[in-house]
Amino acid sequence: MSLTQQSGRAQPPSLLIVDDSQAERDLTAFVLREAFPDASVRSAADPRLAMAMCEAERFDCVLTDYNMPETNGVTLAIELRTLCAYLPIILMTSVGDETLAAEALRAGVTDYLPKSRMTAESLQRTVDRSIQTCSQARLIDEQRGEIENFAYALAHDFKQPIRQIITFAQLISEEVHGDDRAVVQQHLTFLAAAASRLGKLVDVMSQYTLLNQPPDLAEVDLDRVLASLRASLAPYIAERGAKVTAPAHAPWVRGNETLMTQVLQNLIMNGLQYNRNPAPRIDVSFHRDGEHQIIAVRDNGIGIEPEYLTSIFKPLVRLHTSSEFPGSGLGLTLARKAVRAQQGDLWCESTPGEGSVFLIRIPRARDVQ
């Protein structure tokens, strides 16, 4: 079974052949359909048309000839790479050597296949390998950028409590020989608070890093998860005079029970913390969406302006000062990361002044209905 079949692709792969020879295009298309019977195979007789087609629609892989009248396959690969950085591109040629192959790979070609060796098996293997290579490159670059942004923002947030620790330590040193113990105690309180904030930042950094590892997935009973949350959050819910509701029977999903508990706890606490309503309320509901389950966590809190609905999931982004609403600025980032680690997604819909609803889309349980 090929990688494109194993990956559970929602649609058959879409492949583009670029070759100025009609006979070569027909032959390559024939062999591709043997390798990928359900594939959508398109063709272009020249590079300009190929560029226009790639601008207009998405292809899973482009297979291009090297020798063409207007330009060659390596030049086309360079232009395609500027258009789509992670597009798998395979160079095919009837003439060439290791020097050409090296030049092609440096130019951005993903793989190289001599036409003399083109069979259904070799094409399947080369296309699958190219798609996997580009997919991994995209993931690595996204994670690198994410980690760099996270590290920069975290370093910025580390500075404030560190400066406070230094400042209050100096003040304590100045006061320790005096008789004003109340002042010293106040400095110690501020120092402890700053150290506590620094400790929490280290904790969330550890959580964020650990979520880069794929979790074990199994059938999760959301009734059990909600019962655990009701018990653990009961004191805070009572303190706020809040009400948290959910259906009598919750569905089963496929995920990780620990991560799902953390996500729902985060969303419930988020709805209670960012809430000025005299009677805070959280309503948890469920509905089926094909092979997925939608979990909605609705609150009657302060709401979020439309332009911030995407940025709230970015690391250490805060829309309010810590004096208004305490928090690390990583809660929603960790929640979305945890949901995506369970092959789901998390997003938000909101009306400022009326409240928000956070929506989790996650696979339904396979063996439990």
Written as one string, the DSSP assignment of 211-232 is TTSPPP-EEEEHHHHHHHHHHH
The answer to whether 45 and 20 are in contact (CB under 8 A) is yes
Angle between helices 331-341 and 257-273 (to 10 degrees): 150
Strand arrangement of the beta sheet that strand 345-351 belongs to: 243-245, 281-289, 292-299, 355-363, 345-351
pLDDT tens by residue, 284-325? 999 999 999 999 999 998 888 888 788 788 765 555 444 444
What are the start-end ranges of the H helices in 176-301?
Answer: 181-210, 222-240, 257-273
The answer to whether 101 and 112 are in contact (CB under 8 A) is yes
Q: What is the mean pLDDT of residues 70-84?
A: 86
Full set of structural domains in the chain with CATH: 3-140 (3.40.50.2300), 215-369 (3.30.565.10)
Rounded CA-CA distance 314/318 in Å is 9
pLDDT tens by residue, 218-263? 999 999 999 888 888 888 888 889 999 999 899 999 998 888 888 9
Which phi and psi (to 5°) does residue 330 adopt?
-120, -5
Q: What is the mean pLDDT of residues 3-29?
A: 76
Rounded CA-CA distance 277/272 in Å is 9
pTM listed for this prediction: 0.49
Q: If phi over 0 gives left and psi between -120 and 50 gives alpha, with beta otherwise, what is residue 320?
A: beta
